[in-house]
Chain A
Amino acid sequence: MQTQSYLLVGAILFFIGALGVLIRRNPLVIFMSIEMMLNAVNLTLVAYAKHLSSMEGQIFVFFVMTVAAAEVVVGLAIIVSIFRTRENIDVDLLNSMKG
């Protein structure tokens, strides 16, 4: 398949993820959307790796996955510590920095 197709799919997935970040209120769903954005970028990188016959793209993706894993760990820990004691899971409740 032509490289462009993969790039297009990657773009579409990226923007769906961005929309998810902006529209949903559940912090976990927001986080999942972020993961989706990361994956879209991974797809783009691998597509280019094949197009340019270079391993660098794939190695980059490898590291992205590692870092994403670490990020998820820490991010979820933060979400847990913030929302542990609350009734509702809603990022809109975190508005004490208002003004």
Chain B
Amino acid sequence: MQNYAWTLLALPMLGFVITGGLGRRLPRTLTGAIGSGVIGVAFLVALAIFLQVRGQTGQHTYNDLHYYNWLDAGSFHVGMNLLVDPLTCVMLLIVTGVGFLIHVYSIGYMAHDANFSRFFSYLNLFIFSMLLLVLADNYLILIIGWGMVGLSSYLLIGFWFDRPSAVAAARKAFVMNVIGDVGMMIAGYMMFVQFGTLGYDGVFSKAQSMKPDSALLNVICLMLLVGAVAKSAQIPLYTWLPDAMEGPTSVSALIHAATMVTAGVYLLARSHVLYLLAPFTLSLVAIIGAVGAIYAASIALVQTDIKRVLAYSTMSQIAYMFLGCGVGAFGAGMFHLMTHAFFKAVLFLGAGSVIHALLNEQDLRKMGGLRDKLPRTYLLMGIGCLAISGIPPLSGFFSKDEILGRVLAAGNWYIILWILGVITAGMTAFYMFRLFFLTFHGRYNGPPDVYELAHEAPNVMVVPVGILGVLSIVGGFVQTPWGWNAFDDFLAPVFSRYPLVHAAKAPLVGNVPALIFIVVVALAGIYVAYVMYGGAERRPYRAPEWLYNLLYNKYYVDEIYDAGIVQPVRATASALYSLVDRSGVDAAVNGVARLVAVVSRGVSPVETGYVRTYALSIFAGIVLVALVPVVFGTLLK
């Protein structure tokens, strides 16, 4: 494995270089083929690695591959090492697999774009960064991958950089991500000070010997949480995600649904040792998860842009993953990560097909009745909506219910979080099917000529979505409440590596009444949506004006952040500029220049131009010099 694992990084980097450097001069099909092909090959490599790890047992699954010694500074050593264990394998397959399908989709979606090759080079750069993050065996390389993923996100959100809204969104995303990066770095410094190393094995082994729930460990976990929250768009660093929909839909699907935003969950799962030893912060994770889920779902209820609805639903589903990790069910969180990657990609890519067909219309109020025009997309979107709503036997049911089951099993006050989660499930079903019915059922509400021209997307776009659709249906059967624990068993060595720490992995026999209750709630949500939006006439529930405005304007959080943080920072910067920079530094520098000018103008009369004055001054100097020995030597004798 040592011999070929590095190709996982080399392949996307190669794709980045070729499509970036030569892409303009190559025909589109070739560029698209290379860009997707490298990821396809990477997927095969990931598959091979996965099969190899599956064949390993116990702690043999922990493959720490050393490549070379990167940093050697006194007692601080960081190696360029790749860690391949079951957790890594799950992420590798998701990133390369879903990534490959989305690359292929993009060949069709971006076919008419002038910057086709640049798009693929950025996508490959992103895959490289994400794989670097996932394959790291120490926090330093992870942070590097983390930062590069943020960069790729910025480049891709602002891909159409002639649009001011896209540029602003990209900047917003990057700035919020940097806040997370700072948290990660602080955590890194603290880890180094406390443990003397940043490698996973070193940190986790040494952490076990600390006293439980120590303040230091809680702070480290909190700082890591800041990073996770920023990257995964959870409260309070989430406002960038809806704006990030400015980017092309493939980008939304890949980065802001399936992979990048799940990096936070991966971080939590990887650092499970630290979090299990810091229960205070862990319960904070659970609270952020539960509150975030219902919060995002409430906003999604009233949004009118198809991609915004999906963005808030992403935030909500990731909140579920945080909730799962927060009760110690890291495996459940990863399971939901996987199924979410499948069905969310289906939903985004399907939405992309709809937008593409309607010539870039994204407003739900102008859609409707597209069922006959886009039959295949209709089917696939339907599958996606059922999956996300948690309707059995689709994948979303198994993962979402495992999480909620474990929350319930945690007992005590966690039941409140369980209630929030169940309510969110109902809301999720409702707003997803609201989206579905508004798009495909009823009467078309847009310009008639657009409707005439609307047609199904080409195969290159539909087939990848189809594959993802199939996965959304069957992907759940790896982990079921009635005892098929393939997923948990696969991940077991990861979570039992450090003996003093026990992740909650007791098989969930399944609280059947609770399960049925959740499904009923979801079905109820769908029914309500059908009643309101399913028929030819739309009969939406008229909510009170203030409530509607509150939700539609996303609780005015963007405005609050702007007034409370952005404007003061801008004002401070402006004040510093005029006070320190202009009056201080510039004045000093200019003052020096002016001083030189003034002095030189003052001294300049010495150059009279008359030879005789020069001769006189020379002579005066000679007199002075000659007087010294005369006076000191002779006259003072």
Contact = CB atoms under 8 A, between A and B. Distances in A.
**In the complex, are there CB atoms of A and B closer than 8 Å?**
yes
B609 interface: yes
A79 B379 CA distance: 107
Interface residues of B, number: 11
Contacts of B608: 95, 98
A94 to B, nearest CB: 6
A92 B615 CA distance: 12
B619 A22 contact: yes
A21 B617 CA distance: 12
A94 B616 CA distance: 16
Nearest to B616: A22
B612 interface: yes
Nearest to B608: A98
B572 interface: no
Interface string A64-99: 000000000000000000000000000110111111
A18 B619 contact: yes
A95 B609 contact: yes
Interface in B331-366: none
B619 A97 contact: no
Nearest to B607: A99
B615 A22 contact: yes
Nearest to A94: B611
Contacts of B619: 18, 21-22
A66 B615 CA distance: 25
Interface string A20-32: 0110010000000
A22 B614 CA distance: 10
Chain A CB count within 10 A is highest, among B608, B612, B616, B619, for B612
B609 A21 contact: no
B615 A99 contact: no
A20 to B, nearest CB: 11
B610 A92 contact: yes
B498 to A, nearest CB: 82
B57 interface: no
B609 A91 contact: no
Interface string A47-69: 00000000000000000000000
A97 B607 contact: yes
Contacts of B634: none
Contacts of A99: 604-605, 607, 609
User: Which 9 residue pairs are nearest across A and B when measured between Cβ atoms?
Assistant: A98-B609, A95-B609, A91-B611, A97-B609, A95-B610, A99-B604, A99-B607, A92-B610, A22-B616
Given A95-B609, A96-B609, A99-B607, 18 more contacts: A21-B615, A22-B612, A22-B616, A25-B612, A91-B610, A91-B612, A92-B611, A92-B612, A94-B609, A95-B610, A97-B607, A97-B609, A98-B607, A98-B608, A98-B609, A99-B604, A99-B605, A99-B609
Interface of A: 18, 21-22, 25, 91-92, 94-99
8 contacts: A21-B619, A22-B615, A22-B619, A25-B612, A91-B612, A95-B610, A97-B607, A99-B604
